[in-house]
Amino acid sequence: MLRQYELVDLVKSYDPEADEDALNRAYVFAMKKHAGQFRTSGDPYYSHPIEVAGILTKFRLDSSSIIAALLHDTVEDTDTTVEEVRSLFGDQVASLVDGLTKLAMIEQKSGNSKQAENFRKLLLAMSDDIRVLLIKLADRLHNMRTLSYCPVDKRARIAKETLDIYAPLAERIGMQEVKDELEEIAFAELYKEAHDSIVARLNFLREQGSNIIPKIIETLENDMQENGIEATVTGREKTPYSIWRKMQSKNASFEQLSDIMAFRICVDDISSCYQALGVIHSKYHMVPRRFKDYISTPKPNGYQSIHTGVIGPEDTRIEVQIRTYQMHEIAEKGVAAHWAYKQGQKAEGRHFRWIRELLEILEQADNPEEFLENTKLEMYSDQVFCFTPKGDLIGLPRGSTPVDFAYAVHSRVGDTCVGAKVNGEITPLRTVLQNGDQVEILTSKAQHPSTEWERFVITGKAKAAIRRYVRATQREQFISLGKEILERLFKGENLEFSDRVLVNVLQHFEAETIEDIYAKVGEGLVTGWDVLKMAYPAYKQSKLDKMVKSIKAPLFRRKKKNNPIKIKGLIDNMAVNFGKCCHPLPGDRIVGIVTTGKGVTVHKIGCKTLSKFASEPERWLDIDWGDDAENEFHTARIKVMLLNEPGALGDLSNLIAKEGANISNLNIVNRLLSYFELLIDIDVKDVEHLNQIIANLKSSKVVRSISRAAE
């Protein structure tokens, strides 16, 4: 543990103007407040914030950040208040401590959404001041270093969260050293067998070629000197976790990897980088597809370097990284290397493009889990770099499409995207973009996001925007449906239906507007009868009982309403689903059931499932097929007894195909000596189409019997 004077000396070594008095007071304050508290390792608790502060000095952070690190647990774990911190150490320190305290409080919550909510809070805090993230990463790093003292189940959760969130965030802000150490500890905890295997192989290679790295370094140094390039050459092994991830992604064995060893050449300026590259490529054979120029096209986190794979000295396949000393400083320390806070500036995170994009996803996400899912997509994928027609560079995850590109340019461009030109040629929107593609997005004010896009987009920003549109569309449908339900219910009971009546019940249903009431009813979260009884408390229960009894009568006795609700299929109506119990088709008599979270589920009249809703008349809707329903394909289920002989299944599928239908699922439910009993789902247009198929199958010699299936 760092002593008080040692910590102050470290800060003063890179920031002579640091507030020495405040640093000393913060050190003593933390020790006093945490006195009597101990960590699971048995160490005094105050050793933790002191070690966190020590980690931050390696990244030359300002004194406000160091003081906040010393105090980051005092508000949460002691009787200290944020206002007390503010009065003793100023607004900046208090703001940082407050942000870190809120994060810690979220981390203690239980439930499946904890990790997602934790990440959401972290994003909001770091968007206000990026130093919150730097302190949090140092806090997580020290906790990971002492992970072995935690209970086994807690260790696994912390390690997984570290791999999922904190290591990718460290990479995003360019803190390579922190990222590597977080990944190494978490990897060893979660995948011990794989970790130990890779470490053993690395040790074996080290023993077999103990002098190969020094030899390669010496040869590369001579190559640079002979060509008049002043350079520093270093060599290193890739981390076990990065090796394991590459083995996973490339489905390759350890022996098949070509870049386990990497060598770095640091020079004074950019022109020397390309001069050094020329020397390497002129002397050694380049490995195809192993060249990347991150100097001309930097990574989103500011990382710059040239990477190339060659058959280098000693006939060894190696990776060579070429960069300037300044680039190397940024590569190792990331955002901390920019030293943005020396003059007491507030280091807002919103000027980082990736943080702005995550904030957009946060605004569009429906819940914390969806936000976490989409942001993981943003943080994990390898990058491809594409250009706008004006030459602006857009970095995207590998596998991205023109729709992802459109949303990366601007949300409005994505929402109105109708087509794309890639390298001057019109291409489908699902086309996978490649490095260096020039992409022009074609837009139309009449366009809106398509639900089909979500099947092929890659970026979290695109997925979040599409889901936002779907939710907005669904809400409109739920509002329309809910209003229809309530209007018919109230008028059927000869009760006034008006905004004045509904305003009085808003508070009871935790609704801010009347549309919220409609949406809750349409989605099935609230029943129409609940609203009616709350609006008219004196309404006689006997009338309700009478309605319940009448609904239990046979369905064909139910009176047909004058204005049945029309349905148009599933493509543009996300609030309608078809019952998988009876597979209704155009031509069938149907009824709608309001289903929680799904809108309306359509059933055939006579479906056995309907008996479950006999006592809930408010959920029943008279509906009818739309005029264009037969223009879409619908799933029907048939039960077939098929002769057990070679070619029978082929004959069956051919007969179905000849009728213009398609088999979407097939299940053998019973095997007999002479026959198979099959349940087959086929896509047909309507009942007439299905009946034609059944008639043709009945005439086949391989079909013993056939009927429309129902549960």
Tokens of 638: 């048939």
| Residue 365 to residue 342: CA distance in whole angstroms | 36
| Residue 122 to residue 418: CA distance in whole angstroms | 36
Tell me the DSSP string of 394-427: EEEETT--HHHHHHHH-HHHHHTEEEEEETTEEE
Tokens of 682: 């086929």
Tokens of 553: 């009568």
Angle between helical axes of 460-492 and 514-523 (0-180°, round to 10): 90
Active site residues: 76-77
Cα 263 to its chain centre, rounded Å, is 34
In the block, tokens 């508070």 appear at 507
| Residue 256 to residue 132: CA distance in whole angstroms | 41
Sheet-wide strand order for 417-422: 425-427, 417-422, 439-443
3-state helix/strand/coil string of 269-338: CHHHHHHHHHHHHHHCEECCCCCEECCCCCCCCCCCCEEEEEECHHHCEEEEEEEEHHHHHHHHHHHHHH
| Residue 154 to residue 114: CA distance in whole angstroms | 14
Tell me the DSSP string of 179-191: HHHHHHHHHHHHS
Backbone angles phi, psi at 149, to 5 degrees: -85, -10
* Contact present, 132 and 52 (Cβ < 8 Å): no
Query: Which of these, 289, 291, 268, 288, lies nearest to 278 by C-alpha position?
Result: 291
* Contact present, 604 and 588 (Cβ < 8 Å): yes
* Contact present, 144 and 136 (Cβ < 8 Å): no
* Contact present, 222 and 232 (Cβ < 8 Å): no
Write out the E strands in 332-406: 383-387, 393-397
Tokens of 589: 């008599």
Provide the pairing of β-strand 599-604 with 576-578: parallel
For the chain, what's the residue count? Answer: 711
User: Terminus-to-terminus CA distance in the chain, angstroms?
Assistant: 69
Classify 302 in phi/psi space as left (phi over 0), alpha (psi -120 to 50) or beta. Answer: left
